[in-house]
């Protein structure tokens, strides 16, 4: 049985004033296996964020349903961790308190949650910054904290919505390696939204390509590159071939959308 | 001068003091130089002498204390009720929809216009003074606190929900800490307004307080005392403002610009 099943989930944003209702997502079906790393690739506005927000429970589907371990998703919850494109650390909490936020919400004792939070801070490379406030950190460090904050809760699935979208290329590449490293060690089910083809291939065990708005799945491609994957893999023949294929898939969509 | 370029702390203080010095100098020239009749405006020296007499002979310290007590009393009362209501309105839209129109209307009712009515209802005792300050600050506080609480970034709330927060803890652990520095700033501002209401309340129907002293001195044409009273009000305002700013900086280091 798959970890997460998305069954014919669609979204129609209701009309507002004179504006027509917006079809953001045509009913989409997708199954994600345990410990899969799925990247969702698609042109801007195709409904990637909408799909992810429905899985997170932050948005209700207009049709269809989402099952996590066979249980229907009815609202947001700690079993689905989420990392957003915008910086969403709580500015009034230090880095360590941010990471421990979800644990405190669950009533974990102070000692235990500090231990867990410290170990996560270390795993994402933030040792020494535990008592800083978010505004004292760079964008990359803030997103690492956000990832640690989501993972400290030990969610069944980790949802990431273009978490590295605002970062420069070097930082971005380092963040991809870090996240992939964590996934290889910890074994997690991950759903990662991006519109960067290279990023999508590098981390994924499966790349799902979406069409232009209204979004639907137009390709579902397994990535059989071996693990652990060093960053040098991005220049290997297999990687480049896959990249060419995906770039073409996306190009058709973007051109078609104009 | 470059736009927005900051000045050093030292330069800031000396600039600030220079203006006070210039101001008093201009005042001294106008009065001691004989450009303004003594009857209308006392000189700085007369003002200090009159002030000394007020403090030592007329027991003005008691008036100052009573005025401070009234402001603080009325303001604390208003804040104690405005905080829960404002927070509820900011967090829960139906509650806001219920109260907001009335509170918006009530905030434009001038507190000073209520004084005659309040004298009828509550006499000229302390209750009346407290009520003037209460009416003057309560409605303003409620509306501004509601806006501060409701102005939270949506994605922070979303993040809290995906971390397992309940509706209740979104209010207590996201909305409240997020709005806290703004609320502190609102309290500081409205406390300043409360000072103007108390003086007006004391100008009409009162037998003690700084405002009462000012009306008395007017009858005696003692402009030195009037100016001394006004300066005392300004000083207390400055000090309370300073304390508030200092406390805010230390309570909310993460919010400092
Ligand atoms: N709350 C909303 N109300 C109305 N329309 C919306 C709303 N949210 C999103 N949409 C529309 O739904 C479509 C899909 O939006 P979505 O944010 O899911 O796209 P996306 O694939 O994440 O794009 P991007 O790559 O730019 O983030 C867009 O056309 C958008 O305008
Ligand atoms: Mg998006």
Residue ranges per structural domain of chain A: 1-79+156-170+186-239+250-258, 82-154
pLDDT band at B159 (very low <50, low <70, confident <90, very high): very high
pLDDT band at A257 (very low <50, low <70, confident <90, very high): low
Kindly state the average pLDDT of the residues A169-193. 92
Quote the pLDDT of residue A214. 78
The C-alpha atoms of residue B168 and residue B235 are separated, in whole angstroms, by 42
Q: What is the DSSP letter of B69?
A: H
Express each pLDDT in A7-30 by its tens digit: 999 999 988 877 788 888 899 999
- Contact list, B169 vs chain A (CB under 8 Å): 105
Q: Is the pLDDT of residue A258 over 80?
A: no
What are the two backbone dihedrals, phi and then psi, of residue A206, each rounded to the nearest 5 degrees?
-145, 135
Quote the pLDDT of residue B91. 96
Express each pLDDT in B171-190 by its tens digit: 999 999 999 999 999 999 99
Preceding omega of B208 cis (within 30 degrees of 0):
no
Q: Is the pLDDT of residue A90 over 90?
A: yes
Which one of B148, B154, B159, B168 makes the best mutation probe of the A interface by having the most chain A beta carbons within 10 Å?
A: B159
- Contact list, B253 vs chain A (CB under 8 Å): 133
Largest Cα–Cα separation, chain B? 74
Residues A153, B164: C-beta atoms closer than 8 Å: yes
- Residue found by looking up tokens 């004292």 in the block: A136
The C-alpha atoms of residue A99 and residue B255 are separated, in whole angstroms, by 19
- Other CB atoms within a 10 A radius of the CB of residue B238 amount to 10
- Contact list, B164 vs chain A (CB under 8 Å): 77-78, 102, 105-106, 153
* B179-200 burial: b if 16+ Cβ within 10 Å, else e: bbbbbbbbbbbbbeebbbbbbe
B153, B155, B165: residue with CB nearest A105 = B165
pLDDT band at A38 (very low <50, low <70, confident <90, very high): very high
Residues A86, B155: C-beta atoms closer than 8 Å: yes
For residue A193, the cross-strand partners are: A40, A161
Q: Could you tell me which chain B residue has the CA closest to the CA of A80?
A: B162
C-alpha distance from B252 to closest chain A C-alpha (Å): 8
The CATH number given to A1-79+156-170+186-239+250-258 is 3.40.50.300
User: How is the beta sheet containing A71-72 ordered, strand by strand?
Assistant: A22-32, A4-13, A63-68, A71-72
Quote the pLDDT of residue B18. 95
Q: What is the DSSP letter of B173?
A: I
Residues A92, B164: C-beta atoms closer than 8 Å: no
| DSSP characters over A35-79 | T-EEEEE--TTSSHHHHHHHHHTSS--SEEEEEETTEEP-S--TT
Quickly name the fold that domain B45-255 has.
MetI-like fold (1.10.3720)
Quote the pLDDT of residue B257. 62
How much distance in Å is there from the Cα of B203 to the middle of ligand 1?
60
Quote the pLDDT of residue B155. 94
B161, B252, B255: residue with CB nearest A58 = B161
C-alpha distance from A50 to closest chain B C-alpha (Å): 13
Closest CA to A48 of A75, A87, A9: A9
Domain positions in chain B are 45-255
ipTM above 0.85, yes or no: yes
Quote the pLDDT of residue A1. 60
Q: What is the DSSP letter of A232?
A: G
What are the two backbone dihedrals, phi and then psi, of residue A63, each rounded to the nearest 5 degrees?
-150, 165
Residues B178, A92: C-beta atoms closer than 8 Å: yes
Ligand nearest to the CA of A161: 2
What are the two backbone dihedrals, phi and then psi, of residue B77, each rounded to the nearest 5 degrees?
-60, -50
Question: What global pTM score does this model have?
Answer: 0.89
- Pick the residue whose CA is nearest to atom 22 on ligand 1: A49
Quote the pLDDT of residue B24. 93
Express each pLDDT in B78-94 by its tens digit: 999 999 999 999 999 99
Express each pLDDT in B38-76 by its tens digit: 888 889 999 999 899 888 888 889 999 999 999 999 999
The C-alpha atoms of residue A206 and residue B165 are separated, in whole angstroms, by 31
B159, B165, B253: residue with CB nearest A88 = B159
């Amino acid at each position: 049985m798959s970890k997460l099943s998305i069954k014919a989930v669609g979204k129609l944003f209701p009309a507002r004033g004179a504006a027509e209702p917006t079809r953001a997502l045509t009913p989409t079906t997708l199954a994600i296996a345990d410990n899969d790393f799925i990247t969702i690739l698609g042109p801007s506005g195709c409904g990637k964020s909408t799909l992810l927000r429905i899985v997170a429970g932050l948005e209700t589907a207009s049709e269809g349903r989402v099952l996590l371990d066979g249980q229907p998703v009815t609202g947001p919850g700690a079993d689905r961790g989420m990392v957003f494109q915008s910086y969403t650390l709580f500015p009034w909490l230090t880095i360590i308190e941010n990471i421990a936020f979800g644990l405190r919400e669950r009533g974990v004792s102070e000692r235990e949650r500090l231990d867990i939070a410290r170990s996560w801070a270390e795993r994402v490379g933030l040792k020494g910054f535990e008592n800083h406030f978010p505004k004292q950190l760079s964008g990359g460090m803030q997103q690492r904290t956000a990832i640690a904050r989501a993972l400290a809760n030990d969610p069944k699935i980790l949802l990431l919505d273009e978490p590295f979208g605002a970062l420069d290329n070097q930082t971005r590449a380092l963040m991809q390696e870090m996240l992939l490293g964590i996934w290889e060690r910890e074994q997690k089910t991950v759903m990662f939204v991006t519109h960067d083809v290279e990023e999508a291939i590098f981390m994924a065990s499966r790349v799902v390509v979406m069409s232009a708005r209204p979004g639907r799945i137009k390709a579902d491609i397994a990535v059989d590159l071996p693990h652990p994957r060093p960053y040098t893999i991005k220049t290997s023949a297999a990687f480049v071939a896959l990249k060419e294929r995906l770039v073409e898939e996306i190009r058709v969509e973007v051109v078609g959308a104009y | 001068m470059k736009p927005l370029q900051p000045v050093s702390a030292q330069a800031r203080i000396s600039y600030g003091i220079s203006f006070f010095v210039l101001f008093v100098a201009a005042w001294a020239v106008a009065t001691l130089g004989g450009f303004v009749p003594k009857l209308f405006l006392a000189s700085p020296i007369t003002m200090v002498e009159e002030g000394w007499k007020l403090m030592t002979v007329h027991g003005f310290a008691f008036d100052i204390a009573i005025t401070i007590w009234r402001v603080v009393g009325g303001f604390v009362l208003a804040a104690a009720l405005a905080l829960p209501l404002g927070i509820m309105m900011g967090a829960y839209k139906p509650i806001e929809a219920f109260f907001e129109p009335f509170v918006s209307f009530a905030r434009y009712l001038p507190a000073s216009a209520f004084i005659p009515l309040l004298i009828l209802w509550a006499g000229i005792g302390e209750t009346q003074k407290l009520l003037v300050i209460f009416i003057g600050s309560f409605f303003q506080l409620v509306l501004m606190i509601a806006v501060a609480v409701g102005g939270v970034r949506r994605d922070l709330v979303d993040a809290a929900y995906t971390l397992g927060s309940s509706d209740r803890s979104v209010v207590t652990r996201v909305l409240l800490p997020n709005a806290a520095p703004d609320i502190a700033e609102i309290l500081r501002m409205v406390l300043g307004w409360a000072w103007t209401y108390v003086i007006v309340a004391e100008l009409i129907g009162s037998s003690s307080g700084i405002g009462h002293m000012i009306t008395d001195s007017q009858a005696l044409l003692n402009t030195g005392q009037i100016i001394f009273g006004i300066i005392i009000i300004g000083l207390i305002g400055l000090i309370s403002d300073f304390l508030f700013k200092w406390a805010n900086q230390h309570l909310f280091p993460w919010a400092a610009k």
